[in-house]
Structure 1
């Protein structure tokens, strides 16, 4: 039953009826791997069995399974991010939307593991739980500003990986150091490592200018607080619609333990 459900969900089935339909359509395939002599269980049986499964044990088993079929390559990017599941909110049953924090392997296009949280603000506690499940040796772990926490940075390093964390106002000392060290004029005339990307989509053009630097004197004291901090990065992006003048540039800041 678990094998049937996993295969059906991978193929895009949503809901127990669709999973049962998938089973009937792919019965010959399923019989190669499991005991389906009596055919496919009803959608009610599928729901009852899944309701009896311990969600945490299933999550651990899933993460172990992904470890065995996912080759971790040196420097591979693993993106940790939270998403609210569409359609999971139900006002009638007084049930809030489900929020999932997932680790996504950019190179292989697979989710390595995920943890459910009650709400988006709980990501800070969910990320450490997710990191415990993962094999990250040699990877570069990217997390948005909510995960820019010293304990999370330490945990990533303890897993044998490097971190790349987005910096916003929730870390005012870091944000102030960036504003002092990298005003727009300095970013625009930066002579070190830089890279430009240009993206066009539906009449909108977005140009991003990326720079990376070793930590400057503005970050020296902060480097004692942030474990393994070696490099800082700035991304300046411009958006333009049609022939209109480009919008004001948007600036994003990042810290990393990677060389």
Structure 2
């Protein structure tokens, strides 16, 4: 694949279409390398994607307990070449995915069968609001899962309401 070619990666680095970030998270070091290009001539079915302007790749290296693991993610995009915007879009995409995962696991949102569209939208807003409160509780009870936080808060909601409102 085009973005797996080391020569192409080198060219993108020289053009400034490369970005590298490093952060410590969840007891591991995550190194992310982003590549972004408008070079899409090689894509056979590029005309099937309306607005396709570029492709990008995220190469993530995870270092944990002496082990090294690599993950590769590929993206098609309507963005012009802009490595900073591309890297923010990739990270933003995964934070949205993470939020949906929390909503499903913590609140079983995928199992919700509310038929009224407005009621479903209102419930979704309430769940997101509750999720933001649960994330604020992280400051006071950092080691609890979201489900356990819900339970702990339900046992004494006024205590946590005071903490969240005073924050």
- Report the TM range for the smaller structure's normalisation: 0.3 to 0.5
More helix by share: 2
Q: Which has the higher contact order (CA 8 A, sep 6+)?
A: 2
TM-score between the two structures when normalised by the length of structure 1: 0.27
Q: Which has the larger radius of gyration?
A: 1
TM-score between the two structures when normalised by the length of structure 2: 0.41
